[in-house]
Amino acid sequence: MGPEKAIAEKQYFTPFNVVAGIIIFVGLIITILRFTKGIGAVTNLDNNNPWGLWIGFDLLCGVSLAAGGYMTSSACYIFGLKKYHSAVRPAILTAFLGYALVVFALNYDVGRPWKLPYPIFYSQGTSSLLFEVGLCVFLYLTVLFVETTPAAFEWLGFKRIRHWVVRLTLVLTIFGVVLSTLHQSSLGALFLIAPSKLHPLWYSGYLHVYFFISSMFAGLSMVIFEGTLAHKWLHHKMDDTHLAEANGVVLGFGKAASFIMMGYVGIKIIGIAVDNNWHYLTTGWGLWFLVELIGFVLFPAILYSVGSREKNTKLIRIAAIWTVLGIVLNRLNVSLIAFNWHLPSADRYFPSFMEFFITIFIITIGVVAYRFVVTRMPILYEHPEYKKDH
Amino acid sequence: MAISRRKFLGSLGATIGATTTGALTKAYGATNKHFKGYPEGFGVLHDTTKCIGCRKCEQACNEVNKLDKPERPFDDLKVMDQKRRTGEASYTVVNKFKGSGDVFAKKQCNHCQEPACASACFVKALKKDETGAVVYDESLCVGCRYCMVACPFNIPAYTYNDPLTPKVTKCTMCLPRILEGKLPGCVDICPREALIFGKRKDLVKLAWKKINKNPDHYIEHVYGEYEMGGTSWLYLSGIPFEQIDMREDLGVTPAPQFTSGALGTVPIIVGLWPVLLTGVYAISKRKEKIASQELEQAVKSTQALAENEMNDQLSKLKDKMTKEKETAIQNEVKKALQEAAKKAEEDAKAAQEAETGDDEAVEDTNAVDGTNAADDAVKEEE
């Protein structure tokens, strides 16, 4: 009894748990501050800069990086690429957790979070793109939740209801792609209403198209990146099928991402040409724009293509991280850095320490939740009883 | 509150329907339909050349709207040394600029004809009223602050330090006072006629009359007549508007038109994507089916071919064997006949020899042999 107990206690205090515990503890303290002292007490937001890190990163990056869910499930179930089957469940799970945390983070950012159901159920502002985003995120979160349940049902042994949910797979996948197309693009379209505030190099009539197309390679890259992390820490949870298919997923997704990114660079250049914004390229903002487009889209796209030609999965994994950083850079540029570019530097926004911390806190909750699910439910392996089910 | 499934689905349907129709209404933005604002809408003409920067309007606004008192009193004109913007305790501010001498300009919500904020609001908390005022309903507001992102004039403010009931704050055009038949607080108190209240359409005419009467005094532009599709507040200035912090690069397009294209694609995607995706699914499924059928066919035909070949070979082998058997039999028979013939010949020879030597003896032996053989045959038959 004695030694066993000691072992059990020892397992609770792993470095991961201790660090995560501290972050969550501090996060909860800031949470109390936020809801007792107001948004102003914890953020650097002001009247000129109503949207900060929590929208620029938590919402915009969170949603685009969770695009792996619709990309993977549509590749497998709609385009019939069955060789990616083992990648579907982890991608759907991370997408679900990603969206759930986006909505969770919104509760910190909006003034009266208990009214968040209002736009959907009470007073619909249908002329607003934010309404479109809200409705789609709400519906898609529901879809992702349903898509995640089979794993939970297998874990709990609810055979019959699992069977019924699995039969909905195709409909849910199609619904998911429709909703993702809409809200991924609408997040970009949010900024269409403010041409006077966003720098012309980032403002474009195609902003919604850019956001949608970039969400595709964001999702693909995130699947590769998460796979890399999972292989490092959760290798023992993967079954032979998952391990055998993993390299194929990396190569296939890397190749697809490279293709889409090249196309994205093309339409970005078309955007500059359509608005005749060439002259901005020679300014400081132009340099920054080129850093983003060449340094964080074209360059990783080339890495991807070289990697998939030479079957170099290591190179592809590097490209994936690079691409993810590029997506973050793009979303922050549109929402924060190139937004309000005309304001004097004294009026510009930089996030407070507590804003950063809440963001880290929310990512930590996501990692903990992912670990909790993956170590219990059949995500990285197939449940032996349902192996021949697909 | 109990809510039946039917009711829930109904309201969800209404929501989705509303999205579609909403987007369609916006899609009109691409037609030649031009909304000129409510004909009876009010507005204010601000002649900045008449403004002396007394800040009385700021004070009146503060009192009418029962806002927090500022740290420095309203008669402290040094406040204007710093450029200010509207805030939660100041729905309007007067700023000082350098022209030929000091130039003052008042700033507040411009009450756009087609407001960006109202178009951006996802709960309809902001609305353009028929009186011309853009009004805000705190009870609906979620606090997303998209209106502040959308406003091209950077007017709405937010009470960030209120933990439980934060709200957007901005000039109301004193709608409650207008409905009582009174003037807006700022207009009422202005000692210099720098603010003139009236119907917007009359104010536009008045503004141009002023410019035409005194063209050297004014810039030939009524700010707000067309900016962002037109605003209810109109401005006259003696120096370029850019110099009194009023952006001249906003253009004349009403804000809702910037988003109408993107919104218009929503119902089309809802309609077409399922068709496209189901089609892709059907194609991939069909390809899979054809591939498996072809495989099956190939296996079958290979099998059939192999079987035929085997049968052929078998029958050939059979033929060959029968033939061989026959030849063998024939050969045997031939051999037997030849042997028999040979024997007969030999016998005949021997008989001849015997005839010549010991005729009788041989004959007897033969006769005995013959009967014996006959007897054996009879026995076997029995």
- pLDDT, tens digit, 9 for 90 and up, residues B263-273: 989 999 999 99
Q: How far B290 CA sits from the closest chain A CA (Å)?
A: 14
pLDDT of residue A236: 81
pLDDT of residue B380: 52
Spell out which residues of chain A touch residue B160, defining contact as CB-CB under 8 Å. 38-40, 43, 45-46
Q: Count other C-beta atoms under 10 Å from residue B88's C-beta.
A: 20
B312 band by pLDDT with thresholds 50, 70 and 90: very high
Share of chain B above pLDDT 70, in %: 84
pLDDT of residue A389: 62
Q: Beta strands B168-169 and B126-128: pairing type? A: unpaired
Per-residue pLDDT for A202 more than 60? Answer: yes
- Please write the tens of the pLDDT for every residue from B47-83: 999 999 999 999 999 999 999 999 999 988 888 889 9
Mean pLDDT of the B14-38 span: 52
pLDDT of residue B95: 94
Q: B109: closest CA among B248, B232, B243?
A: B232
CB-nearest to B122 from A34, A39, A119 is A119
Mean pLDDT of the A346-359 span: 94
* Type and span of the H or E element at B103: strand B101-107
Per-residue pLDDT for B362 more than 70? Answer: no
Dist CA B58 CA B61 (whole Å): 5
Interface probe for B, chosen from A102, A112, A336 (most Cβ of B below 10 Å), is A112
Share of chain A above pLDDT 90, in %: 75
Q: Is B62 exposed, middle or buried (0-12, 13-18, 19+ CB in 10 A)?
A: buried
Helix-helix angle A299-309:A240-274, to 10 degrees:
140
Share of chain A above pLDDT 70, in %: 96
List of residues 6+ apart from A88 with CB closer than 8 A:
A72, A73, A76, A77
B366 vs B318: which has the higher pLDDT: B318
pTM (predicted TM-score): 0.84
B153 part of contact set with chain A, CB < 8 Å: no
Per-residue pLDDT for A6 more than 90? Answer: no
CB-side neighbour CA atoms (13 Å) of B285: 9
ipTM value: 0.90
B189 vs B368: which has the higher pLDDT: B189
Spell out which residues of chain A touch residue B159, defining contact as CB-CB under 8 Å. 38
pLDDT of residue A388: 63
Q: B232: closest CA among B266, B273, B254, B201?
A: B201
Dist CA A285 CA A27 (whole Å): 35
pLDDT of residue B338: 86
Share of chain B above pLDDT 90, in %: 66
CB-nearest to B142 from A37, A110, A205 is A110
Mean of the per-residue pLDDT values of chain B:
85
A247 band by pLDDT with thresholds 50, 70 and 90: confident
CB-nearest to A127 from B119, B160, B269 is B119
pLDDT of residue B8: 47
| Contact check, Cβ <8 Å, B142/A127 | no
- Please write the tens of the pLDDT for every residue from B102-156: 999 999 999 999 999 999 999 999 999 999 999 999 999 999 999 999 999 999 9
Interface probe for B, chosen from A110, A132, A170, A193 (most Cβ of B below 10 Å), is A193
B32 vs B22: which has the higher pLDDT: B32
B162 part of contact set with chain A, CB < 8 Å: yes
Per-residue pLDDT for A337 more than 90? Answer: yes
Tokens of B96: 């000082």
Fold of the A22-377 domain: Formate dehydrogenase/DMSO reductase fold (1.20.1630)
Mean of the per-residue pLDDT values of chain A:
91
B341 band by pLDDT with thresholds 50, 70 and 90: confident
| Domain ranges for chain A | 22-377
pLDDT of residue B21: 41
- Please write the tens of the pLDDT for every residue from A279-314: 999 999 999 999 999 999 999 999 999 999 999 999
- Asked whether the beta carbons of A182 and B266 are under 8 A apart, the reply is yes
Mean pLDDT of the A83-99 span: 91
List of residues 6+ apart from B48 with CB closer than 8 A:
B103, B104, B105, B106, B194, B235, B236, B237, B238, B244
